[in-house]
């Protein structure tokens, strides 16, 4: 059932304030969700185990037909089409099965964010999402009790082109769960608004762009709709005062998140690992890289005790980290089941990434098997490195994914490990691994290559390979290795002359 806004009683609304004309009252609270759609989580490469929230001021509310200013000195204003819920009855510690009864209406929301201001907010989003006009809502309300919470659709258009489309069935956390969870912590009051997150497709808009958001229930009788919530982006002229607080600041991480992907932001696909660098690394032996790292004083960069599951395996990629802790039965019950850290990493690993697993060198249990290896392969992962065991060893080898492990073991994860957390600095095979480190492996073992020196290390290693090949030719010709390997001044001069001739 779709109704005009006049059907919903205005309680405590600011008289004559058009900002709240799309709502039954001025919201006491606006609660927003950080990450809630599976499509958005897959795009971001991380999937939360539980919902997390932040608050927005009611002064940020606007209605359809309004404008939003992109402040002077900023570049990353992004739209987020969302399903907005309006609380109709107080909710405090409500059970999941009755949570939806506390929602009076559903409408469209656009949770604009200014990524230039995120750096110092640490997830609170106070400045990046709290600006005047940053939360348009409306224009019409759908009676929540006439629609199914899992059958709502949200769509967003930018300049008439569809940019987002998803259904509430694609939420990681169903709408009633959000209400029930929030009510555990504080009372949801009539007029409060819950912004339920945005699906994939959110991106940057610029002055002159027109953004439209619509929420509807296409499979419900009458196909009730919020109508299109229209917002025009304009350019602001007011600049932020450095004497009062932090100024806008952006980096490539913020650009990638604002645009939706590194490619959309015009950035290289793999930070610190260009296609050219990846190609070089695929041609140089790990032993040569190890020699060059040792020359630079880096002796503790080898992941020891791991071997490839199939002969000839070659591994080059950037690290995605996963940590297991020693098994404790009560902790495994809490963290080992459901959508645990292990499943989240294998479900969201990006093309070219290597999943590096800290298993404390405990090989008495599998840390992955054929199903997870297949999932990583389908996702485009470069491989897996674990200082623990591998189940289904032969099947994993047949999948063709480069997997380096401590050896085979038939036991399941819970025998020795609890999947605990991910995307943090870990220890694997005695080496420290940070997310984004470059991982290189072959039959000699696996190395961790710091991205900042990777280019110079690989270039020197390739040159060393040329020299070693020349030395091998001299040995074949009958020269003794003394003075030749390593070369003394005379042999170095001969090599330089040969190199110039090439």
> 326 with 418: CB under 8 angstroms?
yes
d(C-alpha 14, C-alpha 26), whole Å = 7
List for the chain the helix, strand, coil content (%; round to 5): 30, 30, 45
118 is in an annotated binding site: no
Q: Which residues pair with 405 in a beta bridge?
A: 307
Cα-flanking dihedrals φ and ψ of residue 331, to 5°?
Answer: -75, -35
175 is in an annotated binding site: no
Angle at 139 between CA 133 and CA 140, to 5 degrees: 145
d(C-alpha 228, C-alpha 138), whole Å = 8
392 is in an annotated binding site: yes
Q: Tokens for 362?
A: 């405990």
d(C-alpha 250, C-alpha 6), whole Å = 43
Alpha helices (runs of H) in 126-247, residue ranges in sequence order: 126-129, 175-183
d(C-alpha 448, C-alpha 272), whole Å = 13
372 is in an annotated binding site: yes
Angle at 369 between CA 365 and CA 371, to 5 degrees: 155
Determine the 3-state secondary structure of 56 from DSSP: strand
222 is in an annotated binding site: no
Estimate to the nearest angstrom the gap between the alpha carbon of 15 and the chain centroid.
43
371 is in an annotated binding site: yes
Per the annotation, binding residues for substrate are 369-372, 391
Per the annotation, binding residues are 369-372, 391-392
Per the annotation, binding residues for Mg(2+) are 392
């Amino acid at each position: 059932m779709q109704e005009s806004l006049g059907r919903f009683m205005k309680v405590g609304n600011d008289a004559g304030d058009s900002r709240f004309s799309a709502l039954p009252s001025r919201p006491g609270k606006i609660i927003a969700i950080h990450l809630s759609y599976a499509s958005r989580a897959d795009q971001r490469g991380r999937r939360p185990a539980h919902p997390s929230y932040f608050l927005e001021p009611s002064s940020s509310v606007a209605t359809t037909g309004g404008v939003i200013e992109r402040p002077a000195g900023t570049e990353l204003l992004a739209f987020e089409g969302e399903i907005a819920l309006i609380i109709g009855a107080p909710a405090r510690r409500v059970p999941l099965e009755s949570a939806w009864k506390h929602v009076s209406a559903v409408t469209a929301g656009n949770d604009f964010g200014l990524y230039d201001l995120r750096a110092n907010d640490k997830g609170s989003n106070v400045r990046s999402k709290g600006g005047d006009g940053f939360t348009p809502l409306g224009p019409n309300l759908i009676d929540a009790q006439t629609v199914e919470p899992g059958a709502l659709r949200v769509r967003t258009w930018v300049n008439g082109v569809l940019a987002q489309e998803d259904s509430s069935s694609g939420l990681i956390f169903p709408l009633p769960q959000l209400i029930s969870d929030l009510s555990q912590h504080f009372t949801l009051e009539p007029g409060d608004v819950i912004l339920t997150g945005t699906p994939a497709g959110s991106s940057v808009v610029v002055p002159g762009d027109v953004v439209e958001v619509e929420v509807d229930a296409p499979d419900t009788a009458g196909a009730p709709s919020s109508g299109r919530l229209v917002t025009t982006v304009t350019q602001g002229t007011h600049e932020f005062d450095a004497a009062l607080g932090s100024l806008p600041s952006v980096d490539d991480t913020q650009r990638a998140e604002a645009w939706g992907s590194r490619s959309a932001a015009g950035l290289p696909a793999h930070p610190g690992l260009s296609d050219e660098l990846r190609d070089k690394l695929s041609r140089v032996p790990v032993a040569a890289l190890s020699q060059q790292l040792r020359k630079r004083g880096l002796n503790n960069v080898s992941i020891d005790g791991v071997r490839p599951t199939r002969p000839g395996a070659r591994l080059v990629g950037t690290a995605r980290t996963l940590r297991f802790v020693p098994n404790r039965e009560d902790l495994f019950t809490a963290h080992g089941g459901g959508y645990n850290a292990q499943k989240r990493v294998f479900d969201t690993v990006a093309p070219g990434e290597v999943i590096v697993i800290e298993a404390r060198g405990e090989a008495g249990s599998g840390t992955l098997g054929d199903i997870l290896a297949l999932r990583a392969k389908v996702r485009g992962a470069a491989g897996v490195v674990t200082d623990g065991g591998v189940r289904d060893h032969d099947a994993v080898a047949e999948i063709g994914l480069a997997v380096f492990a401590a050896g085979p073991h038939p036991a399941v994860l819970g025998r020795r490990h609890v999947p605990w957390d991910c995307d943090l600095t870990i220890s694997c095979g005695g080496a420290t691994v940070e997310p984004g480190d470059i991982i290189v492996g072959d039959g000699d073992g696996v190395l961790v290559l710091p991205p900042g020196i990777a280019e110079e290390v690989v270039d020197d290693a390739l040159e060393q390979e040329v020299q070693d090949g020349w030395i091998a030719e001299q040995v074949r010709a009958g020269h003794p290795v003394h003075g030749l390997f390593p070369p003394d001044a005379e042999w170095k001069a001969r090599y330089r002359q040969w190199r110039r001739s090439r």
